[in-house]
Amino acid sequence: MVAFLDLLHTVSQKLKGDDLKALKFLCGDKIGKKKLESVESGTDLFALLIELNEISANNTSFLQEILNRVCRHDLADEVKRFDDSACDSSSEVLDQKEKDRLEIAYKVICGQVGKNWKMLARKLKIPEAKLDAIVQANPYDLQEQLMQSLMYWQKTKGVAAKAEDLVQALKLCQMNLVADYVMLQLDK
């Protein structure tokens, strides 16, 4: 996380006044007008985006997108290099066995958990703002809402994402039958 904050600080220092105005404008649908008025630097803006879970060390796509849209391709490339180097690190990549286990768990969970999916997402500590964005992007598809929340959870957890954590969260939500069914599928 420290490396990511260093990157954001560096990017902020390289922003010009007009760049910051344009970035603030592009973030108008994500950040309220009152909060945007208090933004005086790139670091202020990035702190708000982190707080809203729009950007993180594991998710720089929105940052790259807005930097490209304000024609700061040099800064977007710098963020992309950071992203690529983080992905190249072997400690940041889930092993194939755990990826397969998570895929099995996702399939079972999406097939078995219905309208109570938000309870599970909250147990996985997914922020309300992210849940609202997921619902807005997929208003009529509960399974897709749940899948997007699980994928977000995996992305934020990185290599720490384990199928057993999903089973534990299901149990905490009193979804014991689903938890048992996930374990049954994982043990096959």
Residue among 152, 175, 150, 174 nearest 163 (CA): 150
**What integer pLDDT is reported at residue 1 of this predicted model?**
62
Q: Alpha-carbon distance 132 to 21, whole Å?
A: 26
Q: Is residue 108 within 8 Å of residue 181, measured between CB atoms?
A: yes
Per-residue pLDDT 10s for the chain (188 aa) are 678 888 999 999 999 989 999 999 999 988 988 999 999 999 999 999 998 888 888 788 899 999 999 999 999 999 988 877 765 543 445 678 888 999 999 999 999 998 999 999 999 999 998 899 999 988 889 999 999 999 999 988 888 899 999 999 999 999 999 999 999 999 88
Residue 95's pLDDT is what?
Answer: 78
Give the Å distances, CA to CA, from 125 to 34, 53, 160, 169: 27, 12, 14, 10
Q: Where in the chain is the domain with CATH 1.10.533.10?
A: 2-91, 96-187
Quick check: 19 and 72 in contact, CB under 8 A? yes
**Per-residue confidence (pLDDT) for residue 70, from 0 to 100:** 94
| 96-187 placed in CATH 1.10.533.10 | yes
Could you tell me which residues come within 8 angstroms of residue 97 by beta carbon, excluding any fewer than 6 positions away? Answer: none
Task: Using only the alpha carbons of the chain, give its radius of gyration.
Answer: 19
User: What local confidence, expressed as pLDDT, does residue 117 receive?
Assistant: 94
Q: Which CATH superfamily is domain 2-91 in?
A: Death Domain, Fas (1.10.533.10)
Q: How far is CA 153 from CA 35, 76, 161, 175, in A?
A: 27, 25, 8, 18
Helix or strand run (H / E) with residue 164:
helix 163-172
